Structure 1
Amino acid sequence: MTIEGLRLKLLTIKRKLPANLRKKKINKTKFTIISNNCWGGEVYECYNLIKQSPTIGLYFMASDYIKFIKNIHYYLKQPLNFIDPKTSKYYNKVKSQKGYGTYPVARLGDIEIFFMHYTSEQQVIAKWTRRINRIDWDHILYKFNDQNGCTLKDINDFINLPVKNKICFTVQDKYAKAPYIKKIKAPRSHTEIMASYEPFGNSKYVNVNDLINSL
């Protein structure tokens, strides 16, 4: 097991054991997190809540995620068209990732989604559809980070999105240009944030309890 894998397993325990106690610190249990990776699902686990977003257990390449949230209502109406992972337009960038090729990859219009924590197309469709119907458009948070080919243009596009509630995690000093872009301390060798470094609950980088309460 890699160090990252071990960190993620330990953090799963840390998230889930005090979840019901943590839930008492938030003022709502219905809210939606639209995330570019698995962070949204982890937050719901932190509070022992059902997952109220289709962006659970998956990831987008950075530019596709920005495109997705710029026109989210349009994209959520499009069908998921599953593809051979080897035909992904990002294949050369993602083929070396652990497990790539073993999980579903789908096109949603002109963007691609990598369902890394799913085992079948049927499972993806069932959960994607169910969770779209759970979206709470009145209490929604858009979350981004510097993973998956993120560039300064993607960060600036995220900054310029006309949405009220958003947060971005990065390990890069050059990206910290807005109060909701949070620089996270990580080893110097990290050029992008790893999943195990993204904060949840009440951390020194961001109080997620307060973030939820403000939605």
Structure 2
Amino acid sequence: MHTPRLILASTSVYRRELLERLGLPFETTRPEVDEAPLNGESPVATAERLAVEKARAVAGRFPDALIIGSDQVAHRGNERFDKPGTAERAIAQLRSMSGNSITFHTAVCLFNSRTGYSQLEGVPVTARFRELTEAEIRRYVEREQPLDCAGSAKSEGLGISLLDHMRGDDPTALIGLPLIALSRMLRAEGIQIP
């Protein structure tokens, strides 16, 4: 039976670590995609469009593969909380999120570059941030350095202490790759999991 290569169109260490949980051999590559939202585009639409674009962006290099693209947008309504990049921006984001519910919408696309068939699913997780003091925010940012995470918080690490609760169907979606949805997609392509 023909087993296509599995490609993760991401260089995110978080997505790579999540995909390793499935025990499948895979390769990673960087998709060259402009991640800026389109004018008037909702956060949900941005995440889903970018997941597809990332998978398709590398298809020319892998003509017989299953390619995984994923993107996450953290938002409250139409207000987005992107990767902060600096400690100052992370602190400002956490101040804004303190006491509020933030939706982390993570989209995953599985693109079969041989057949052109793609599957797409968006998985929202809502995280309720507790009321945070300025000292807590600063200590957290200093200790965990969440500068490369949408919303400036790593729920898989110390960031879990910032939350009152989380609501969603797949806790891995909050980290950046919804494994329940992805497993379903891979099984639809004939990949045996487990």
TM-score normalised to structure 1 length? 0.27
Higher share in strand:
2
